[in-house]
Amino acid sequence: MRFIQSFLLGLTTTLAVLLVMGGFWSGSSTALAATVTVQMGTPAGMLVFEPAEIAIAPGDTVHYEVAGVPPHNVVFDPGNSAGDVSGLSHPAFAMSGGFDISFPADATPGSYSYYCEPHRGAGMIGKITVQG
């Protein structure tokens, strides 16, 4: 009798775990957001974003890190962007360290162009493609 009780308890526990794990593998689960790093400038003094073009998913974050001669910022160009960029720009100048820009989970798929305001004329521009 004790063997049957132990077997049923083990079977019930196993079924409960499988049901919970099944919820994780179902289509209703959401993917974890990622963070992609972009350097602002290079240690050699180049005025570029490195990499200049990246692809992300809606909900992802882009971490901008000062790697070259500051100051740097990130200003999104509404005329060359697929969706609303009003809350994406980081107009404050970073002298060191970095900052994050998170794209909303409902970001419109497509290309988003941006630039560093003081170095735009030198070609410090970048592009983010939000995948659909």
Pick the more confident residue, 10 or 69: 69
Tens of pLDDT, residue by residue over 77-99, are 999 999 999 999 999 999 999 99
The answer to whether residue 119 is catalytic is yes
Based on the fold, state whether residues 48 and 8 are members of the same structural domain. Answer: no
Q: How many CB atoms lie within 10 A of CB 81?
A: 19
Domain count, the chain: 2
- Domain that includes residue 22, residue range: 1-29
Name the band, by pLDDT with cuts 50, 70 and 90, for residue 32.
confident
The answer to whether residue 72 is catalytic is yes
pTM (predicted TM-score): 0.76
Based on the fold, state whether residues 44 and 92 are members of the same structural domain. Answer: yes
Contact 23, 70 (CB under 8 A): no
According to DSSP, the residues that pair with 64 across neighbouring strands are 38, 99
What's residue 29's pLDDT? 44
Q: Which of 1, 21, 72, 95 is catalytic?
A: 72
Residue 4: pLDDT over 60: no
The answer to whether residue 90 is catalytic is no
Tell me the H-state helices in the chain.
2-25
Based on the fold, state whether residues 42 and 107 are members of the same structural domain. Answer: yes
Q: Which of 1, 40, 90, 116 is catalytic?
A: 116
Based on the fold, state whether residues 118 and 74 are members of the same structural domain. Answer: yes
Residue 26: pLDDT over 60: no
